[in-house]
Structure 1
Amino acid sequence: MRPLDPRLLRRARSARRYVLLTAGLGGLTAAAVVAQALLLARALSPVVLRTADWPDVAPLVGWLAAAVATRVLLTWLQERFAHRSAVRAIAELREQVLARAVTLGPRWVAAHPGVTTLATRGLDALEPYFVRYLPQLLLAATVTPATLAVVLAHDLIAAVTITVTLPLIPVFMVLIGRMTQGYADRRLAAMTRLGNQVLDLLAGLPTLRALGRERGPERQVAELGDAHRRATMGTLRVAFLSGMTLELLTTISVALVAVGVGFRLVFGDLSLTTGLAVLVLAPEVYLPLRQVGAHFHASADGVAAAEQAFEVIEQPTPARGTAPAPDLARTTVRLRGVTVAAPDRATFAPTDLDLTVAPGEVVALAGPNGAGKSTTVAVLLGLLDPDTGEVLLDGPDGPVPLGEIDPETFWPQVAWVPQRPVIEPGSVREAVQRGRPVPEAALASAAALTGFDRVVAGLPHGWDQQLGQGGVGLSLGQRQRLALTRALLAPAALVVLDEPTAHLDADGERVVLEAVGRLRAEGRTVLLVAHRTSLLDLADRTVTVASSALAAP
């Protein structure tokens, strides 16, 4: 990413306001720096030469204190707004990454597992870029030219010395920055691999524990952690070395200016006031550039994460339909010749599937594991485009392809209970209601039917019990009961249940059967993905989903 990437200004509105504010504060800071140097020189010079005493320079000292206080205030304001803008800009980028990932669909997300780490910890590394690097970059564009111009007005030789030595800092910054960028990219890749491994481990931990293999992945996770540690320490090592290099260059450059000023003071070719002003201003000329180099390495991880974020955000999205969805309570959904490739398994799953779901009907999808039952659900919901075939909605005005339907008018009519229900952090009541007001009588009735009322009764705070991300605080079976309760209360004409008994015992299976019977009695359309005979027997029709091998290239 360039020092100030235009894409960042386009994608994050907070970044645009922050850049304008920081540029304004940089101009005021430059004025405060110049005033501080000139006032200090004029106040100190007559006292050293014994041509003035304290009463004569007291007003200048007062103005000097005001200049220092102004500089401190400007620095405080910049820090305050930097943290606020960083949080807002990161939130905006994170929202855009998640929105684009959702638009691209679950198959794309599964093929790019690093998006999860990027949207969580990865983008947080942008904070040093906003708080430290970007302000110094803008100060280098304002304070450095302003102070150099003042030096030039007072001492030509010192200005030439600074002009000759100043380019050395950005040259070394570029040379060191190229090496640091490689370390930052490797560190982000290591963190992404570690995050993916840990997420996969947590998702499959119940299964691993059931098989007695929960301690198996320890070595692999430890190796990934060591790789992440080595990449991080490599970045820090280069950052410290580059900081020392920049400090050394700055010290030598300021020393050259000081030597020149000292000789001319000795030989009387320069006044003490001018010499003091130049000596105070010389470090201020180099300071912003030196800080840019030092803080660039602290922000390198964030820059690498921003690059990946822009790659996700700029992914082309499939065309989105605009036609309003028909009323699913009176609409037949048809899948015709649907085939979806699963390249990672070298199969088509499903293959050449024909499926009809009529209003008020209970249809079950059966077939062996890996046949494409869940993929069929994703196609029917519009989350995945089939490689061949189409999905049609036979409404009152004739069949309409699902791809031409506006998802915002289609999804509100669907209630989906996946194998692992999505539960947002919040109270149990909020997780069930999903932002919709639900009468207490309806809530109690649905909870009693699914057995979730017994779950709530066992929680310390009942319906107000707080849940973590993904339903932390409830077991898998309890989360499934919560999702069933939510589906019963949802005003949806089409209810899709993907393996609703996967994490339930015999008592839980009975609950699912009763819930499906309740949905049928209400006239709602139900699509079941099931293995158990009891669920298949409950359906009006059972459609077998089959897979086939990909043809050899």
Structure 2
Amino acid sequence: MGKDLWKLQGIRLVMLLTALLTLLQTIVIVLQSVWLAQAVSGLFSGDTLQSQLGHIGGFVSALIARQFLSMLLQKLAYDFAERTGQQFRRALIDQLFALGPRYAMGQGTGNLVTLVREGIAKYRTYLELIIPRMVSNGLTPLFIGIYVLRLDWISAMILGLVFPILIAFMILLGLAAQKQMDRQWATYRVLSNHFVDSLRGLETLRFLGRSRAHAVTIGRTSEQYRKATIGSMRVAFLSSFALDFFTMLSVAFVAVSLGLRLVHGEMLLEPALTILMLAPEFFVPIRSLGADYHATMDGKEAGEEIQRMMQQPIPGQSSNSSIACKESHATFNESYATFNESYATFNESYAAINESHAIFKRSRIVRNESASDNRTWNEASTLMIEAVSIHYGHDSQHSTWQTTNRSEVTSIQADQAPIVHDRYTALTNVSLNWQGYGKIGIIGASGAGKSTLIDLLAGFLVPDEGQAIWRDAHGHSSQLHGQHWRTAAAYIPQHPYIFSGTLRDNIALYEPNATESEVAEAAQCAGLGKLLQSLPQGLNEHVGEGGRMLSGGQEQRVALARALLGQRHVLLLDEPTAHLDIETEYELKQTMLPLFDNKLVLLATHRLHWMTDMDWIIVMEQGQIVEQGTHQGLLEQNGLYCSWINEQWEGSA
């Protein structure tokens, strides 16, 4: 049993109760054997059945009590495992939302879904089985051995000599099983991610005529998982055989020793029968532990993976305040208010993990409260980015989350998260100061740092150097990763996620209590009027998987409608039209531009035609702001932006 289990909230009380129940069960087992041996020896010596009814009744009562205590032990372990599993799931989801979408992307969707659903269920099973097995393995053989020693020291010596051998053998097999389970779990993660990626890309594979060829890759990945599973089963079967062999051999030695002394009249029948019945009970706990240990190894691996994620440092917090497994559980149970805050954070950020880069669900109450205390963005609000630098590397909190396409920095292998080979500076000395509403364009080539800057503005990243804050009309300053900014800003990613449900549910994702007229108005403003007219059920039409599939432009309009329904005055757009054809992009552009009025809009793109409609333009190259100004002002500077405009003009000519 890992030492991390002692860090779980409530584990000490559970262990104490389990120990008490196990001790009572051990006493009942001894009494059961004693009463049965007395009844058998009495009948063997010629006593009547009526004279042994007391011993027989005691045996039956002990048998019933043993089963009742076993049920209590199972109930106690099950309740604790179920409660801990629920806490683990909530704490893990909170941690994933706190870490942000970059970390989730680096881990893989299939791996995270498998871990949250199946991994926690397996860890719950591991706790349910391993706790009573470990306690009984420590107490039952000890007390049975003491009682056997009281009756016969030779039998106790035989049992005592075999038990350490079994322990040593289990340790050796456990190390082999650990290696096999590590391999199996790693292969299972690869299979999960590969399966999800295959489903997502199936349409593209069919379009390119590569769907059948891709079956070979699926078969190879499945074969690797099959071999890893067979290897684990092989070790488990070997362990079971070894345990059964040594325990049966030990019981046989005890039986032979007792039989020889009975024949020579050196021992009485009653204590010999008692020892013979207690000898198998002496090995029952370790045999059960061996069987359940291999059956729950995948749960232990899942628990360690969960704890590794829970111990990741959260952006904006020091390493000392990162959410470790024990801290999240202790916090959850010690304070119900903390639980409510954690669960509120989960509700606010439900959309983030599904939209890859969407953030923090908010309710209508938050909107009304923020309007009343002026903590929303208005003409007097100020955004201040001062000398911000963000690094990716082994000594940075963002190292594991760097998943951009810089091949010289990051290499992504099939069975693990991205590996950062060296420290890399994503943003260097970036500064921006803006007050009130306006449209700010962020332009640059791929890898220039546009998405990193948008992630900073969205609160997904925290500066390693400098500060990123905003100030409201009353002069109150807040960090961009704080709660007020999250409820004031809306993030529209490049690939919005469309849930399997009605169109209304997808638009009202951030505002589930919105009225039908409010949803319809947001849809009309986002340019979904033609789509609504073409749908037989209008807003109640089922979209997404299992329903009507939307085009890329329609998905972007749904994302825009979500932001409009939330009435947020800060819009952050990261390459919102990069995957659209030029006709669809221009059509969507005409829809979006009027909606940018009376809002602060920060648009990251490499499409230059957007820049003529921007109030301010930021030109980025290699993580730095090399130019900024208005469109006309940058043309007059005759710098990098001007050269891009000229290249585009020459290319179009």
Which of 383, 391, 404 matches 1:333?
A: 383
Q: What is the percentage of aligned positions where both structures have the same residue?
A: 30
- Per-residue CA deviations over 1:437-466 (Å, capped at 9, x if unaligned) read 223321221123335574698487954959
Contact (CA 8 Å) 2:532, 2:538: kept in 1 or not?
A: no
Counterpart CA distance in 1 for 2:593 and 2:17 is 59
Cα drift, residue 61 of structure 1:
2.4
- Per-residue CA deviations over 1:101-156 (Å, capped at 9, x if unaligned) read 44344444445546665444444432442233332111112322222222223333
1:156 aligns with 2:146: no
1:413 aligns with 2:409: no
1:439 aligns with 2:436: no
Which of 38, 52, 58 matches 1:57?
A: 52
Counterpart CA distance in 1 for 2:502 and 2:32 is 56
- The structure-2 alpha-carbon separation of the partners of 1:412 and 1:315, relative to structure 1 and needing over 3 Å to count, comes to same
- Per-residue CA deviations over 1:357-412 (Å, capped at 9, x if unaligned) read 4422122323333333222110112211345554242445669573xx66223211
Q: Return 5+ residue gaps in structure 1 as ranges.
A: none
Instruction: Please say which of residues 92-101 and 34-43 is displaced more in the overlay.
Output: 92-101
Give the 5 Å matches for 1:253-292.
253-292=250-289
- The structure-2 alpha-carbon separation of the partners of 1:374 and 1:200, relative to structure 1 and needing over 3 Å to count, comes to farther
Q: Return 5+ residue gaps in structure 2 as ranges.
A: 322-372, 394-405, 409-423, 625-653
Name 2:595's counterpart in structure 1.
518
What amino acid is aligned across from residue 381 of structure 2 in structure 1?
Answer: T
Instruction: Please say which of residues 425-434 and 309-318 is displaced more in the overlay.
Output: 425-434
Which of 66, 71, 83 matches 1:71?
A: 66
Instruction: Please say which of residues 124-133 and 345-354 is displaced more in the overlay.
Output: 345-354
Name 2:21's counterpart in structure 1.
25
Which of 88, 93, 113 matches 1:93?
A: 88
1:241 aligns with 2:290: no
Instruction: Please say which of residues 255-264 and 99-108 is displaced more in the overlay.
Output: 99-108
Instruction: Please say which of residues 244-253 and 150-159 is displaced more in the overlay.
Output: 150-159
- Per-residue CA deviations over 1:183-212 (Å, capped at 9, x if unaligned) read 111111222223333344445555555555
- The structure-2 alpha-carbon separation of the partners of 1:515 and 1:71, relative to structure 1 and needing over 3 Å to count, comes to farther
Counterpart CA distance in 1 for 2:255 and 2:533 is 76
Contact (CA 8 Å) 1:128, 1:298: kept in 2 or not?
A: no
What amino acid is aligned across from residue 301 of structure 1 in structure 2?
Answer: D
- TM-score between both structures, scaled by the size of structure 2: 0.72
Contact (CA 8 Å) 1:367, 1:544: kept in 2 or not?
A: yes
- The structure-2 alpha-carbon separation of the partners of 1:442 and 1:106, relative to structure 1 and needing over 3 Å to count, comes to closer
- The structure-2 alpha-carbon separation of the partners of 1:548 and 1:504, relative to structure 1 and needing over 3 Å to count, comes to closer
- Per-residue CA deviations over 1:211-242 (Å, capped at 9, x if unaligned) read 55555544333322222211111011011011
1:192 aligns with 2:269: no
- The structure-2 alpha-carbon separation of the partners of 1:38 and 1:219, relative to structure 1 and needing over 3 Å to count, comes to same
Instruction: Please say which of residues 407-416 and 336-345 is displaced more in the overlay.
Output: 336-345
Cα drift, residue 245 of structure 1:
0.4
Name 2:131's counterpart in structure 1.
134
Which of 229, 232, 242 matches 2:226?
A: 229
Instruction: Please say which of residues 245-254 and 441-450 is displaced more in the overlay.
Output: 441-450
Name 1:372's counterpart in structure 2.
449
- The structure-2 alpha-carbon separation of the partners of 1:218 and 1:538, relative to structure 1 and needing over 3 Å to count, comes to farther
Query: 3-state SS of the aligned residue for 2:621?
Result: coil
- The structure-2 alpha-carbon separation of the partners of 1:206 and 1:476, relative to structure 1 and needing over 3 Å to count, comes to farther
Name 1:501's counterpart in structure 2.
577
What amino acid is aligned across from residue 13 of structure 1 in structure 2?
Answer: Q
Counterpart CA distance in 2 for 1:493 and 1:115 is 32
Counterpart CA distance in 1 for 2:43 and 2:572 is 87
Name 2:470's counterpart in structure 1.
393
Counterpart CA distance in 2 for 1:397 and 1:437 is 30
Cα drift, residue 413 of structure 1:
1.3
Contact (CA 8 Å) 2:381, 2:436: kept in 1 or not?
A: yes
Contact (CA 8 Å) 2:458, 2:481: kept in 1 or not?
A: no
Contact (CA 8 Å) 1:97, 1:309: kept in 2 or not?
A: yes
- The structure-2 alpha-carbon separation of the partners of 1:389 and 1:158, relative to structure 1 and needing over 3 Å to count, comes to same
Name 2:437's counterpart in structure 1.
360
Counterpart CA distance in 2 for 1:153 and 1:428 is 76
- The structure-2 alpha-carbon separation of the partners of 1:359 and 1:103, relative to structure 1 and needing over 3 Å to count, comes to same
Which of 43, 61, 68 matches 1:47?
A: 43
- The structure-2 alpha-carbon separation of the partners of 1:269 and 1:459, relative to structure 1 and needing over 3 Å to count, comes to farther
Counterpart CA distance in 1 for 2:502 and 2:81 is 30
Counterpart CA distance in 1 for 2:242 and 2:286 is 13
Counterpart CA distance in 2 for 1:456 and 1:181 is 59
- The structure-2 alpha-carbon separation of the partners of 1:472 and 1:29, relative to structure 1 and needing over 3 Å to count, comes to farther
Instruction: Please say which of residues 302-311 and 382-391 is displaced more in the overlay.
Output: 382-391
Counterpart CA distance in 1 for 2:446 and 2:266 is 91
Counterpart CA distance in 1 for 2:389 and 2:536 is 45
Counterpart CA distance in 2 for 1:289 and 1:91 is 29
What amino acid is aligned across from residue 440 of structure 2 in structure 1?
Answer: V
Contact (CA 8 Å) 1:128, 1:295: kept in 2 or not?
A: no
Cα drift, residue 425 of structure 1:
7.2
1:448 aligns with 2:524: yes
Name 1:314's counterpart in structure 2.
311
Counterpart CA distance in 1 for 2:613 and 2:386 is 25
Query: 3-state SS of the aligned residue for 2:495?
Result: coil
Counterpart CA distance in 2 for 1:240 and 1:466 is 49
Contact (CA 8 Å) 2:125, 2:296: kept in 1 or not?
A: yes
Instruction: Please say which of residues 326-335 and 255-264 is displaced more in the overlay.
Output: 326-335
1:37 aligns with 2:113: no
Contact (CA 8 Å) 1:456, 1:462: kept in 2 or not?
A: no
Name 2:327's counterpart in structure 1.
none
- The structure-2 alpha-carbon separation of the partners of 1:367 and 1:201, relative to structure 1 and needing over 3 Å to count, comes to farther
- Per-residue CA deviations over 1:172-191 (Å, capped at 9, x if unaligned) read 11111111111111111222
Coordinate RMSD, CA, aligned: 3.6
- TM-score between both structures, scaled by the size of structure 1: 0.84
Contact (CA 8 Å) 1:332, 1:394: kept in 2 or not?
A: yes
Instruction: Please say which of residues 19-28 and 480-489 is displaced more in the overlay.
Output: 19-28
- The structure-2 alpha-carbon separation of the partners of 1:325 and 1:213, relative to structure 1 and needing over 3 Å to count, comes to farther
How many residues are treated as equivalent by the alignment? 537
Instruction: Please say which of residues 226-235 and 115-124 is displaced more in the overlay.
Output: 115-124
- Per-residue CA deviations over 1:454-498 (Å, capped at 9, x if unaligned) read 469848795495977xx9875464543332221111142212233
- The structure-2 alpha-carbon separation of the partners of 1:157 and 1:25, relative to structure 1 and needing over 3 Å to count, comes to same
Contact (CA 8 Å) 1:488, 1:519: kept in 2 or not?
A: no
